[in-house]
């Protein structure tokens, strides 16, 4: 199910749980969850109501505005990295603290996922940024 405001998609399970994706903030996600519960209630499921709201996964993306030498990064940080360019163009970096997974692309684009709180995203980016600068591709 989808709604336009806030622009989100909901996966609704027979257990009664609803997973909301696409929200730009925790507040948007909460508002959308309430709307979905209300819609389900109006469809005749009288027991449907907004009960518990928890954030399970926060995804963020950014651009460091410089290209990254992924091969060098993968070699130097091999205990945290998986890089197989013939299968996937991004390097998968599994950070331990905070426990976040980053997808790092040669273009300098980065996707961070797995956070339960926004601060973990900020901390993970702070941790990885200086590492990425170390593996910055020189300009030709």
Residue-wise pLDDT tens digits, 79-127: 999 999 999 999 999 999 999 999 999 999 999 999 999 999 999 999 9
Q: Could you tell me if residue 111 is inside a domain? A: yes
Q: Are residues 131 and 104 in the same domain?
A: yes
Q: According to the model, what pLDDT value does residue 105 have?
A: 97
29 and 72 fall within a common domain: no
3-state secondary structure of 14: coil
Q: How many domains does the chain have?
A: 2
Is residue 70 located within the same domain as residue 29?
Answer: no
Q: Is residue 64 over pLDDT 80?
A: yes
Domain co-membership, 83 together with 33: no
* b/e 78-110 (16+ beta carbons within 10 angstroms → b): eebbebeeeeeebbebebeebebbbbbbeebeb
Full domain range(s) for residue 81: 58-135
d(CA 15, CA 6): 24
Average the pLDDT over 27-37 and give the result: 92
Does residue 28 lie in a domain region? yes
Average pLDDT across the chain, whole number: 93
CATH of the domain at 29: 3.30.310.10
- Asked if pLDDT for residue 45 goes beyond 90, the answer is no
> Would 32 be classed as within a structural domain?
yes
**DSSP calls for 38-106:** HHHHHTT-TT----------EEEEEE-SS-B-HHHHHHHTTTTEE--TTT-SSEEEEETTTTEEEEE-T
pLDDT digits (tens, 9 = 90+) for 4-28: 999 999 999 888 889 999 999 999 9
Q: How confident is the model over 66-72, as a mean pLDDT? A: 96
Residues 79 and 120 in one domain: yes
pLDDT score at 60: 96
Residues 70, 128, single domain; the answer is yes
pLDDT value at residue 72 = 95
CB neighbour list of residue 118: distance below 8 Å, 6 or more residues apart: 26, 58
- Cβ(20)–Cβ(39) below 8 Å: no
């Amino acid at each position: 199910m989808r709604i336009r405001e806030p622009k989100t998609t909901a996966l609704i399970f027979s257990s009664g749980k609803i997973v909301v994706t696409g929200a730009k903030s925790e507040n948007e996600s909460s508002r959308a969850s309430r709307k979905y519960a209300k819609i389900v209630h109006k469809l005749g499921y009288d027991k449907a109501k907004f009960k518990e709201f928890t954030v399970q996964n926060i995804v963020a993306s950014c651009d460091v505005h410089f290209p990254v030498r992924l091969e060098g990064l993968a070699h130097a940080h091999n205990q945290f990295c998986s890089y197989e360019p013939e299968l996937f163009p991004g390097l998968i970096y599994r950070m331990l603290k905070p426990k976040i997974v980053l997808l790092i692309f040669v273009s300098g684009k980065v996707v961070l996922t797995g956070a339960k709180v926004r601060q973990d995203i900020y901390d993970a980016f702070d941790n990885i940024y200086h590492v990425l600068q170390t593996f910055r591709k020189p300009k030709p």
